[in-house]
Structure 1
Amino acid sequence: MFQPKLCAWLVAGLCASPAYAAMNIQPDPQNSGGYVIAASDITAVEKAKTANPMYGIWSKALATRPNAIVDAIVPRLASNPDNVKRVERVFTESDWDFLTQMAAPEYTYERFLRAVGKFPAFCGEYTDGRDSDAICKKSIVTAFAHFAQETGGHIAKNNSSDNPLGLEEWQQALVHVREMGWSEGQTGYTTGCGQNDWQNKKWPCATGQGYFGRGAKQLSYHFNYGAFSEAMFAGDASVLLNDPGRVADSWLNLASAIWFFLTPQAPKPAMLHVIDRTWVPSQREIAAGIGYGFGTTINVINGGIECGEQNKDKGQPVNRIRYWEGLAAHYQIPIKADEKNTCWQQTPYGSLNLNGATDVLYTNWDGNWKYYADRPGGYSFECELVGFQTAYSALVPGDYEKCVTNAYGSHASWPKVRIVDKLDPAPVDPSNPPVGDIPAWVASKVYTAGNKVSHKGIIYQAKWWTQGDDPTKGGPWAPAA
């Protein structure tokens, strides 16, 4: 299973957000040396950094339904969600049975429909002219091609002793629900557990639990179980960290694969957006041979091992391509002229250098270490989008504020930051009234470049960040033009 570095998105022609936005940063009267910022300023900065429409598309793709609704889904029920009804129409229970004759009993059509129902974007409705049914069918067939590789039987059709039904290998998906050689009660895949790092603070391992591969995509490692649990249980990572066996024994065994299908990983796009063409490859991707087609979904899953010319004849990608081609032919999935089934001609994403690219969008927050001359101490008081996994996602509401407060609270040399609903108004000195609508200068208030104040009947404008500097003495202040 992947180790998500949630994540980066590549969209040709889209530029990064502005370098920084104006904020009113005031000394914290409750914390010496600390500062307070209004929540509205934090929200405004976050919105400026995520103004590109792709952020909304990502968030919508990862939206989920409550489990109470999901648990009520059964085949052919009139109250099933619309995307579930679409799946029942384009991939019937007979289709499921045709592809799962070797499958483990934990995988059922009902559980598949519930996994689909958890994510409204999977087999959802497109209102811009794209064929929703065709995208849905292609998504399912793509998933089954990868299921056949990840958890398939891999038994030759003419092996009558092990394959008495003479099934094609692409009909042998979902044979394994747990990683071969592992069973419940065993501990393992605990690499990194107990370390004093952000991953363990966010997704702490439970004593005696094993985080080996489970489900259709073989979810592995505590940070994947924790992140998936948050998506499934309203932000609660502890559910699956404490009980990872649920990923094998419930509809989560298929939901984990759909979650992967919908989740972009730095710097890879989500598989759905490769298939439905919401994703537009960047110029560097195009130069690296990465474009539309099944081959790019291989690169998303396991490009470092399976893509590139050196892996052209390796078993895993050869199998995936055979399974995809067999399934696509059986289900009459049209292959467009610009789509490639292979990825041997592609640079693996892990080897693709995107540093400095202007058409890259990232979806994780990290502290902004840059120097800002017009802010207290030169600190940014912001977080920035980065192309590697952190504890804070741009797709999770509230994570930006957590990033700002936690980043500044965790560095000994950084001032602490407190977010407040509203900044207290600065006291007014009756002996120094404002001039017109220009407020009077207040010694304790922080001013940044461009701010105007009145002082002793004269209007001044700040040239850079300042606090406590008397405007009449020049320095950071100059009379306003």
Structure 2
Amino acid sequence: MKHTALFTALFGASFFAHSAITMTPQPDPDNAAGYIVSQSEIAAAEAAQTSDPMYAIWSQALETRPNATVEAIDEGIATNPINVKRVERVFPRSDWDFLTHMAAPEYTYTRFLRAIGKFPAFCGDYTDGRDSDAICKKSIITAFAHFSQETGGHIAKDNISDNPLALEEWQQALVHVREMGWIEGQEGYTTGCGQDDWQNKRWPCSAGQGYFGRGAKQLSYHFNYGAFSEVMYAGDATKLLNEPALVADSWLNLASAIWFFLTPQAPKPAMLHVIDRTWVPSQRELDAGIGYGFGTTINIINGGIECGEQNKTKGQPVNRIRYWEGLAAHYEIPIAADEVNTCWQQLPFGSLNLQGATDVLYTNWDGNWKYYSDRPGGYSFECELVGYQTAYSALEKGDYEKCVTNFYGSHAGWPTVRVVPDADITNPDGGTDNGNGETPTEPNGWSETKVYNTGDQVVVNGVTYQAKYWNQGVNPATAGEWGAWTLVSGQVTPPVTEPTPPVTEPTPPVTEPTPPVTEPTPDTGSSTWLADKAYTAGEQVIIDGVRYQAKYWTQGDDPAANKQWGPWKKA
């Protein structure tokens, strides 16, 4: 996706980081091992990383209506939401009936309308000149092409015994409401349940339940049931983890498919934004053959199994394409010149090389592990966007703060962090911010025991100094030019000392010159690495005959430990 560059790949970035965001953590008065940060700093750090307009578009696309409003939706009533009325106009009951002769009774037109009514962005309004009705119809027909593959009958038209109405295969959607071979009360798809990981803490499996495929999209596995439940039930993950059958027996059987249709899975875009062209493929994606068209929606759904030249004649993608082409022809869906129906010419999204990518947006937060010299302990006190799934989404309000507060303190040796209102943040002298943007000055001089953050000022002997970075115990008057402080105003008066009388050195006796001493070459079998010595980038050491070179500043990290992402490499 072509957007403002927001992401620097972790392993391509310097271990030492500098941020445009000011973070001034203060010692937590209620926790000696913790720190507090202000709400405004947390908000600024999040906003700086999600300033690209796509983040707002994604979040808006995932907005939902209350279930009480959704369950009041019915065919043809005046109180239906605007997007539901659009669906009734461009895809009336007669079209639904035409495509669902074989459908299971759990799928109904009213439930279809309710599923769409839950998400205002599906078949919503476009005010920028795009044709809202045309996009709505194309979205529905795209969904039905995939329904025909995922839950269809797949019965040949000339098989009169099983298909007496001689229906086209693309007319045989939504035959199955549960995955074939599974029944309610049967445990299954519980892989990963009970493990001590973040997924189980956020989406714990319920004893005796099975998370096999249900609904039009065949929702599977506990982490998908939990995530979908949070969307359907105002953040409550346990509802569908405890009652997964609802995804088969209620309007959620179709809502799960609409939810998938609207949800980006970075670096995959949302299917809606491929159809309405809100998504603009990056050069990296274009080089991989990924552009507009039905083929890219296959890549989003199941690219790892169905896309790529090796899958050109495989049954699943061939079926999807046949169903799409049949439906598009029947409903006269226009296909633009740059749209491609197939994905055999595409690399799966999961195969894209995203190392160092700056043109792809990510949607999950994880802790920022980089070192910041101007912050307590070098910790970032921030989270950053990453290209893998975590417990925290950039599209969910409040998740960034959860990432910061939950991530810190959960790692051994890391400080805990509390986010507090700005008014609760005090300056090093115990006073509060003066409210006019000026940097308060320590009135009583420098204190050896206080923590000073970047920009803090103190007065020592009538001279004002300002902290260059976080420090404690560094006297401004003796820090020197390259120390933690810089002189802001005033003049340093050198101390007055009595002149020292000259000392006459005795003439040394004449001695024979001593030949120079040559240091022996280190034994290749010995170690030149010292655990208490600090090494900078480029310095080399020898351990047991092997030479190692520091990749960045390090102290106490054994080069021979062979850590893949550690500070040493073999020279």
Do these two structures clear the TM 0.5 threshold for a shared fold by scoring above it?
yes
SS in 1 for 2:123: coil
Equivalent residues of 1:293, 1:340 under 8 A apart: yes
What residue number does 1:7 align with? Answer: none
Q: Structure 2: which 5+ residue stretches go unaligned?
A: 9-17, 432-437, 490-571
* SS of residue paired to 1:360: coil
Moved more, 421-430 or 402-411: 421-430
Q: For residue 478 of structure 1, what is the amino acid of its counterpart?
A: T
Residue 344 of structure 1 aligns with which residue? 344
Q: Are the counterparts in 2 of residues 107 and 254 from structure 1 also a CA contact under 8 Å?
A: yes
The aligned counterpart of 2:29 is 29
Aligned to 1:172: 172
Q: What is the distance in 2 between the residues matched to 1:453 and 1:93?
A: 75
Task: Determine the C-alpha separation between the residues in 2 that align with 1:23 and 1:317.
Answer: 50
8 Å CA contact 1:27, 1:445 repeated in 2 = no
- In structure 2, the partner of 1:209 is 209
Aligned partners of 1:67 and 1:118 also within 8 Å: yes
Cα distance in 2, alignment partners of residues 442 and 129 from structure 1: 63
SS at match of 2:87: helix
Query: 2:484 corresponds to which residue?
Result: 476
The answer (yes or no) to whether the contact 1:12–1:281 under 8 Å persists in 2 is no
Give CA-to-partner distance per residue, 1:18-44, whole Å, 9 cap, x none.
945101210112111211111221111
1:439 and 2:444 matched = no
2:325 aligned residue: 325
Correspondence for 1:235: 235
Other-structure match for 1:315: 315
TM normalised by structure 2 equals 0.79
The question of whether the paired residues in 2 share the 8 Å contact of 1:298 and 1:306 is answered with yes
Question: What are the superposed Cα offsets for residues 17-74 of structure 1, whole Å, 9 maximum, x if unpaired?
Answer: 9945101210112111211111221111111111111110010000000000000000
SS at match of 2:75: coil
Residues 364 and 393 of structure 2 are in contact (CA less than 8 Å); yes or no, is this contact kept in structure 1? yes
Q: Secondary structure at the match of 1:409?
A: coil
Please tell me the residue identity of whatever aligns with 1:339.
E
Residues 1:57 and 2:57 aligned together = yes
Displacement of 1:16 = 4.0
2:465 maps to 1:464: no
Alignment partners' CA distance in 1, 2:120 and 2:408: 37
In the alignment, what sits opposite 2:160? 160
Deviation at 1:345, TM superposition (A): 0.4
Structure with bigger RCO (C-alpha 8 Å, 6+ apart): 1
Q: Is the 8 A contact 2:288 2:346 kept in 1?
A: yes
Q: Alpha carbons of 1:172 and 1:437: their partners in 2 closer, same or farther (altered >3 Å)?
A: closer
How far residue 164 of structure 1 moved from its aligned partner, in angstroms, is 0.2
1:368-383 to 2 correspondences below 5 Å? 368-383=368-383
Q: Return the match for 2:2 from 11, 17, 36.
A: 11
CA RMSD of the aligned region, Å?
1.7
Query: SS in structure 1 opposite 2:170?
Result: helix
Displacement after TM superposition at 1:427 (Å): 6.7
Distance in 2 of aligned mates of 1:213 and 1:455: 71
Kept after mapping to 1: 8 A contact 2:26/2:425: no
**1:91 and 1:204 mapped to 2: Cα distance?**
39
* Secondary structure, aligned partner of 1:342: coil
**Equivalences for 1:104-115 in 2 at 5 Å?**
104-115=104-115
Supply the distance in 2 between the matched residues of 1:228 and 1:281 (Cα, whole angstroms): 27
Aligned counterparts of 2:56 and 2:63: Cα–Cα separation in 1: 11
**Residue 286 in structure 1 maps to residue 286 in structure 2:** yes
The amino acid that maps onto 1:152 is G
> Which residue is equivalent to 1:262?
262
The alignment's TM-score, normalised by the length of structure 1, stands at 0.94
Q: Residues 157 and 163 of structure 2 are in contact (CA less than 8 Å); yes or no, is this contact kept in structure 1?
A: yes
**Contact map agreement 2:211 2:220 (CA 8 A) in 1:** yes
Q: Secondary structure at the match of 2:385?
A: strand
Structure 1 position 12, deviation (Å): 4.3
Q: How much does 1:449 deviate?
A: 3.9
Distance in 2 of aligned mates of 1:392 and 1:106 = 34
Residues 328-385 of structure 1 show CA distances to partners (whole Å, capped at 9, x for unaligned) of 0000000000000000000011111112111111110101111111111111011111
Write the letter of the residue equivalent to 1:302: N
Q: Residue type of the partner of 1:11?
A: K
- The separation in 1 between residues aligned to 2:166 and 2:189, in whole angstroms, is 36
What amino acid maps onto 1:143 in structure 2? A
1:364 aligns with 2:369: no
Distance 2:340 2:439 in 1: 64
